[in-house]
Structure 1
Amino acid sequence: MKEIQKINNEINDLTLKIEQQYPELYQYLNENPVTIPCCENPELDTKVFSDWLESLKDLLKDFIENQQKSLTK
């Protein structure tokens, strides 16, 4: 359980960072497919939270890279 709490804290911190520093990206977080459960009572385990965290990291990384590309054009 501690591992899930740690990952959840990272998710919260990253989400807050996105909200504060990248508000144009934050508006799309609700549409992230990883956060939408596929069944009525989803199993929330370490893997699910880890995948969610990684998807947020990837989303932010891609956004920053694309933002930089558009600035250099």
Structure 2
Amino acid sequence: MSTPEYLIIQINELTTLIETRYPELYKFLEEEPLTLSTDVTKEIDENMLSDYLESLNQLLKNHVITHNKN
């Protein structure tokens, strides 16, 4: 598993890519807040970061598949 720091870098790079190349998709990232925990005292762990990164990847992949049919 990746370290939290590396996962955060990957998340940042992916959101930057989405923002610059897919601005129509980027606006939806704020509408889908990252729900990492219901307990505010819990720390964000690697699994949560990894899950969020995977959800961003899936969001982008689905967007590309459905919007690039030409």
Instruction: Provide TM-score, normalisation by structure 2.
Output: 0.85
Considering fraction of residues, name the structure with more helix. 1
The total of aligned residue pairs comes to 68
- What is the match of residue 31 of structure 1? 31
Deviations 1:5-63 (A, max 9, x none): 00000000000000000000000001225x03433334300000000000000000000
Distance 1:57 1:64 in 2: 11
Amino acid at match of 2:10: E
What's the Cα RMSD here?
Answer: 1.7
Which segments of structure 1 move beyond 3 Å, counting only runs of 4 or more? none
Identical residues among aligned pairs (%)? 38
- What is the match of residue 41 of structure 1? 41
Unmatched 5+ stretches in structure 1:
none
Unmatched 5+ stretches in structure 2:
none
Amino acid at match of 2:58: D
Instruction: Provide TM-score, normalisation by structure 1.
Output: 0.82
